[in-house]
Amino acid sequence: MCATCGCGDDGAVITLAGHDHTHEHEHHHTETISLEHKVLAKNDLLAEENRRWLATRNILAFNVTSSPGAGKTTLLERTIRELRPDRPVAVIEGDQETLLDAERIRAAGARAVQVNTGAGCHLDAQMVRTALETLDPEPDSLLFIENVGNLVCPALFDLGEQSKVVVISVPEGTDKPLKYPHMFAAAGLVLVNKTDLLPYVDFDLEKCSGYARSINPEVQILSMSAKTGDGVAAWYDWIRLTKAGEQTGVSPDDPLTGHSAGSKPRT
């Protein structure tokens, strides 16, 4: 059970596909929504403080999200090695347990702090604020926030980043955007990773891109292989073209999330 957002088995509703279901506990449902709004509103205030703190230091921050195993850490390792000569790079690592990813990031040459969330399924703005105080990234640097491997709750929690970057991999299937619409609605960029495996899996890049744009018409989509390096130059160009303080992502009145998480990405 997530102690922050309240998601868990006792809040789940199981419905057979094609079967109409009417919620019979409207009072409980209303209380749950009210609590969620309060949690998100408090988080958004803290996120704005983080965003101002980063902007005053001209730090470009990205919230990198994915399912487990999509290749976030491998992508960041390559990105650090290839961009660090031009600009300092720091990383906030989010995981439920272990320091393994933070150790990989440090070995690649970046300063990093690990945030272990325990039973929590996402990072929130307060965790990031505490991590920033510990990490103290340099002015004019790049900051990557590697979120917990999960495409549900991280969609709702603004951390103060310039943009959410969603990493998916071709073995996960073409319909990933349809399964996790909130995350793709909030994304400024979708990276389709592990394209070196395309000959071996059933994945339609054009159809997946169409699904993502049906949810977020302005989202940018890049295909790449973090392992081989194919396509990563376009990812680096996207980073260089994003300016610190220029927020990209979901619009404040987005019907999926119902709360502010940034403006639509500029193309």
User: What is the mean pLDDT of the segment spanning 207-236?
Assistant: 98
pLDDT of residue 31: 53
User: What is the mean pLDDT of the segment spanning 207-232?
Assistant: 98
**Sequence-distant contacts of 226-233: CB under 8 A, at least 24 apart:** 226/71, 226/74, 226/75, 226/78, 226/193, 226/194, 227/71, 227/74, 227/194, 227/196, 228/196, 229/78, 230/195, 230/196, 231/195, 232/78, 232/79, 232/82
Contact 205, 223 (CB under 8 A): yes
Residues whose CB is less than 8 angstroms from the CB of residue 55 and which lie 6 or more positions away in sequence, other chains included: 244, 245
Residue with the bigger pLDDT between 255 and 37: it is 37
Residue 174 lies in a domain: yes
pLDDT of residue 260: 38
pLDDT of residue 129: 94
Q: Is the pLDDT of residue 241 over 60?
A: yes
Residue 75 lies in a domain: yes
DSSP 161: -
Residue 13 lies in a domain: no
Q: What is the pLDDT of residues 179-211, one digit of tens each?
A: 999 999 999 999 999 999 999 999 999 999 999
pLDDT of residue 46: 97
What is the rounded average pLDDT for all residues in the chain? 83
Which domain range does residue 150 map to?
A: 24-241
Count of domains in the chain?
A: 1
pLDDT of residue 58: 96
Residue 261 lies in a domain: no
Q: CATH code at 134?
A: 3.40.50.300
| Residue 206 to residues 126, 152, 213, 229, 236, Cα–Cα distance (Å) | 38, 24, 11, 21, 22
Residue 50 lies in a domain: yes
pLDDT of residue 140: 95
| Residue 253 to residues 7, 184, 261, 265, Cα–Cα distance (Å) | 23, 15, 9, 14
Local confidence band at 250 (pLDDT 50, 70, 90 cut-offs): very low
Q: Is the pLDDT of residue 62 over 80?
A: yes
Q: What is the pLDDT of residues 105-159, one digit of tens each?
A: 999 999 999 988 877 788 999 999 999 999 999 999 999 999 999 999 899 999 9
Contact 162, 60 (CB under 8 A): yes
- Distance, C-alpha 190 to centroid of its chain: 10
Local confidence band at 38 (pLDDT 50, 70, 90 cut-offs): confident
**Sequence-distant contacts of 118-121: CB under 8 A, at least 24 apart:** 118/3, 119/1, 119/2, 119/3, 120/2, 120/3, 120/4, 120/96, 120/148, 121/2, 121/5, 121/7, 121/96, 121/148, 121/150, 121/152, 121/153, 121/154
Local confidence band at 37 (pLDDT 50, 70, 90 cut-offs): confident
Q: What is the pLDDT of residues 7-26, one digit of tens each?
A: 544 443 433 354 454 444 45
Residues whose CB is less than 8 angstroms from the CB of residue 194 and which lie 6 or more positions away in sequence, other chains included: 70, 71, 169, 170, 171, 225, 226, 227
Residue 89 lies in a domain: yes
Neighbour tally for 108: CB within 10 Å: 20
Residue 256 lies in a domain: no
**Phi-psi region at 68: left, alpha or beta (left = phi > 0; alpha = psi -120 to 50):** beta
pLDDT of residue 248: 60
**What percentage of the chain carries pLDDT values higher than 70?**
78
Q: Alpha-carbon distance 17 to 99, whole Å?
A: 40
Residue 249 lies in a domain: no
pTM of the complete model beyond 0.85:
no
Q: What is the pLDDT of residues 70-119, one digit of tens each?
A: 999 999 999 999 999 899 999 999 887 777 888 999 999 999 999 888 77
Contact 72, 154 (CB under 8 A): no
